[in-house]
Amino acid sequence: MQTIHMCDLYGQYLTMKDEIDTAIQDVIKSTHFIKSGKVLDFEEKLATYLKTNVVSCGNGTDALQLAFMALELQPGDEIITTPFTFVSTVETAVLMGMKPVFVDVCADTYNLNADLIEAVITDKTKAILPVHLFGQCADLEKILTLAGKYSLFIVEDACQALGTDFYFEDGTVKNAGTIGDVGCNSFFPSKNLGAFGDGGAVYAKDEQLTNKIRSVANHGMKAKYEYERIGMNSRLDSMQAAILEVKLKYIEKHIKARQNAALFYDEKLKNIDEIDLPLRVKYSSHTFHQYTIRTEKRDALQKYLGEKGIPSMVYYPKVLHLQAAYKNLGYQKGDFPVAEKLSETVLSLPMHTELQAEQLEYIVKNIEAFYENS
Ligand SMILES: *Cc1c(COP(=O)(O)O)cnc(C)c1O
């Protein structure tokens, strides 16, 4: 059996090697490494796939900053979000002088508990920032209602959810990241659509807002050497765009492969009492950026699997409201008990597009063995 990886980027590359190698060579031959037609080509293809407007940028963290800047959020503005996420979700907001206001998450979906949002809305609240953690959407319909009632923006952190569908109660289906005012995505190599380096994208329905995002990402430029606003330099380079354009063709196949692996885990692990499986909600598909279980014996299980050559990861071992960097926000241990408990009990199992049946069998067999003997 081949070595089991948490995420097998090389194995995946081999399945598209000729196309990717050619795409890279074409960029080298063109010498248009920055702001080429390749970048626009890719943006257009992604926009078609998502049925929205797309502006590519340097990474997912920048995507969030571009969203906040284009929406003209100001120092002192409050944004409501989850403490159980990657640090980027709040980092740029704090850099811009804004104040993240956390609400706890749901234990079974790991996503923002929409029922807790209304209680923390103040007259300084400007936006709600749901994160579609691990590839499944937060409860957007409830969030949309609140945003409408209090005139708030919705910025979706869809960095882990490219390709995820949101199902509205009336039957409408939309892509994660295209439902709020702005959506943010990352092409970090291990994400659902990963580059061979950094990359990101911002989505917006509104044309004017899209143009503003494009201007902010390009130094606030209006015409050459004429600047209409303060911007930043955030761009996807042509090499990454060329690689992503190839990989985008296979996104559905890759999502299917993740979902099949997840179904296998579900089926084989569901009878182990001491494990809670990731819940599937009726309002979202799940693209399994991660397959994350919960268990009281998390650390012992992780150690046991490690000894058997099975990698696993803890996303996330420490909640944001207790991080030293964010202690000025004034939160304390116990403020968000569900998120805190998750940080002690979650474990993400190997999840990627190249997992083989034999490897999956070996993983679940060892998980079963661990619980039989513990
Ligand atoms: C990956 C990620 C980001 C940031 O993406 P980068 O491209 O690494 O800057 C932001 N939010 C979440 C939830 C992420 O998973």
**Nearest in space to 78 (alpha carbons), one of 330, 316, 325:** 330
> 200 and 258 share a domain?
no
CA of 78 to the centre of ligand 1 (A): 20
Domain of 38 in residue numbering reads as 9-248
In a domain, 238, yes or no: yes
Report yes or no on 78 lying in a domain: yes
Backbone angles phi, psi at 90, to 5 degrees: -110, -15
Packing angle, helices 60-70 and 207-217, rounded to 10:
120
59 CB under 6 A from ligand 1? yes
> What are the average pLDDT values for consecutive 10-residue runs of the chain, which has 374 residues?
95 98 97 93 98 98 98 98 96 97 98 98 98 98 98 98 98 98 98 98 97 96 91 97 98 98 98 96 98 98 98 97 96 98 98 98 98 90
- 24 closest CA partner among 221, 188, 282, 197: 197
Residue with tokens 């994660």: 176
C-alpha–C-alpha distance, residues 62 and 364, integer Å: 38
For residue 288, tell me if it sits in a domain.
Answer: yes
Which helix (DSSP H) or strand (DSSP E) does residue 266 occupy?
Answer: helix 251-269
- Distance in angstroms (rounded) separating the CA atoms of residues 115 and 104: 10
From 201, 229, 248, the end of a domain falls on: 248
Gap from CA of 234 to ligand 1 centroid (Å): 15
| 259 and 233 part of one domain | no
- 289 CA: nearest ligand 1 atom: 15
Q: How many CB atoms are closer than 10 A to CB 24?
A: 16
Ligand 1 center–CA 23 separation, angstroms = 25
Reduce the DSSP state of residue 122 to 3 states and report it: coil
pLDDT for res 230: 95
> Domain for residue 326, yes or no?
yes
Q: How far is the CA of 191 from the centre of ligand 1 (A)?
A: 9
Whether 182 and 40 share a structural domain: yes
Residue 151 has what DSSP assignment?
Answer: T
In this structure, are residues 224 and 81 in contact, taking their beta carbons and an 8 Å threshold?
A: no
φ, ψ dihedrals at 227, nearest 5°: -115, 125
Contact partners, residue 284, CB within 8 Å, separation at least 6: 132, 136, 137, 164, 165, 166, 167, 176
**Number of structural domains found in the chain:** 2
- Which atom of ligand 1 approaches the CA of 191 most closely? 1
Ligand 1 contact, 81 CB (< 6 A): no
Q: Nearest residue CA, atom 2 of ligand 1?
A: 159
Q: Are residues 244 and 120 in the same domain?
A: yes
CA of 199 from ligand 1 middle (Å) equals: 10
Q: Is 277 domain-assigned?
A: yes
Find the CATH number of the domain harbouring 298: 3.90.1150.10
Atom of ligand 1 nearest to the CA of 62: 9
Residues 278 and 336 in one domain: yes
Q: Tokens for 359?
A: 């490897």
With a CB cutoff of 8 Å and minimum separation 6, the contacts of 138 are 109, 111, 112, 114, 130, 131, 132
Please check whether residue 1 lies inside any domain of the structure. no
**Last-in-domain residue among 194, 225, 248:** 248
What region, left, alpha or beta, does residue 103 occupy, with left being phi > 0 and alpha being psi -120 to 50 degrees?
beta
Is 226 a domain residue?
A: yes
Query: Is there a contact between 216 and 70 (Cβ–Cβ < 8 Å)?
Result: yes
Angle (nearest 5°) at CA 216 between 210 and 217: 90
Same domain, 179 and 277: no
Mapping DSSP to helix (H, G, I), strand (E, B) and coil, where does residue 354 land?
coil
Ligand 1 pocket member 156 (CB < 6 A): no
Other Cβ atoms less than 10 A from the Cβ of 179: the count is: 23
Alpha-carbon distance 208 to 211, whole Å? Answer: 5
Whether 298 and 152 map to the same domain: the answer is: no
CA of 184 to the centre of ligand 1 (A): 9
Residues 203, 278 within the same domain: no
SS3 346: strand
Q: How many CB atoms lie within 10 A of CB 110?
A: 26
Contact 234, 186 (CB under 8 A): no
Order across the sheet with 182-186: list the strands. 53-57, 200-204, 182-186, 153-157, 125-129, 78-81, 99-102
The CA angle 130-133-138, to the nearest 5 degrees, is 45
Do 185 and 268 fall into the same domain? no
**pLDDT of amino acid 20:** 98
Q: What was the pLDDT predicted at 224?
A: 86
Rounded CA-CA distance 248/153 in Å is 29
> DSSP per residue over 154-221, as a string?
EEEE-TT-TT-EEE-TTS-EEETTSSSSEEEEE--TTSSS--SS--EEEEES-HHHHHHHHHHHBTTE
Domain end point (choices 214, 248, 282):
248
**Are 95 and 227 in a shared domain?**
yes
The whole-number pLDDT of residue 222 equals: 87
Q: Do the domain assignments include residue 4?
A: no
Assess whether 125 and 244 both reside in one domain.
Answer: yes
Taking CA atoms only, the protein residue closest to ligand 1 atom 3 is 60
Ligand 1 centroid–CA 189 distance in Å is 11
Of 85, 160, 162, 202, best ligand 1 pocket probe by most atoms within 8 Å of the beta carbon: 160
Best of 56, 57, 59, 61 to mutate for ligand 1, by most ligand atoms within 8 A of CB?
61
Ligand 1: centre distance to CA 88 (Å): 6
CATH of the domain at 60: 3.40.640.10
Q: Are 38 and 62 within one domain?
A: yes
